[in-house]
Amino acid sequence: MSIQILALVGSLRSASVNRKLAEAAAALAPEGTEVTIYEGLAEVPFYNEDLDAEGSVPAAAQALRDAAKAAGALLLVTPEYNGSTPAVLSNAVDWLSRPYGAGAVKDLPAAVISASPSPYGAKWANDDARKVLGVAGAKVLEDASVTVGGRFQDFAETHPKDHEETAAELAGVLAALIGALEPVNA
């Protein structure tokens, strides 16, 4: 059975560089590993504890939870909005964090990639994503994060999978996730 890595992308725009980075991770996944970009994030309603009860969890939120539970690892790919992660990602993590202590991300190895046009490469969003995932119970790989800043504009023309430095960094993140996961499955 192959290793499944679920990628959650925080930008919904069609030409998103963050989405391209997730696509590049999927293209670079080593044999026996599959990176799937989750396509239903925009449909997940805002987290509401009233809805989070047996029989009333919205289908789109349940589908997200099911996808995370079926995955061996999580890859968050985030732009920076006003110094943090976009609401779409933070909402997803809220759904994945509950029930408290037993959410879908509990003990899931997780890494964060961030990109914005600023030279800092969405560093604040990256830091926040790692913090929030950790609080949610994921096993965050602190040393396996990538920030894409200065080269952001290159990816309007060149897909990041064809950009040597970026491809090497993404391959490093995938290797770290796979390495974190193997002992779990052993």
CB of 183 to ligand FNR, least distance (A): 33
Is 17 a binder of ligand FNR (CB under 6 A)? Answer: yes
* Contact of 5 with 72, CB cutoff 8 Å: yes
Query: Can you tell me whether residue 75 is helix, strand or coil?
Result: strand
Residues numbered 73 to 132 that lie near ligand FNR (CB under 6 A) are 79-83, 115-118, 122
CB of 18 to ligand FNR, least distance (A): 3
Residue 12 neighbours by CB distance under 10 Å:
12
Residues numbered 40 to 79 that lie near ligand FNR (CB under 6 A) are 79
Q: What torsion, rounded to 10 degrees, do the Cα atoms 79, 84, 88, 90 define?
A: 130
Is 38 a binder of ligand FNR (CB under 6 A)? Answer: no
What do you get for the CA distance between the two ends of the chain, in Å?
Answer: 13
Nearest to 81 by CA among 11, 133, 146, 151: 11
Tokens 């044999």, residue located = 31
Q: Which is nearer to ligand FNR, 89 or 133 (CB)?
A: 89
Count of positions on this chain that bind ligand FNR (CB under 6 A): 15
What letter would DSSP give residue 48? -
Q: Which is nearer to ligand FNR, 57 or 167 (CB)?
A: 167
Is 14 a binder of ligand FNR (CB under 6 A)? Answer: no
Judged by the rule CB under 6 A, the positions of this chain that interact with ligand FNR are 11, 13, 16-18, 79-83, 115-118, 122
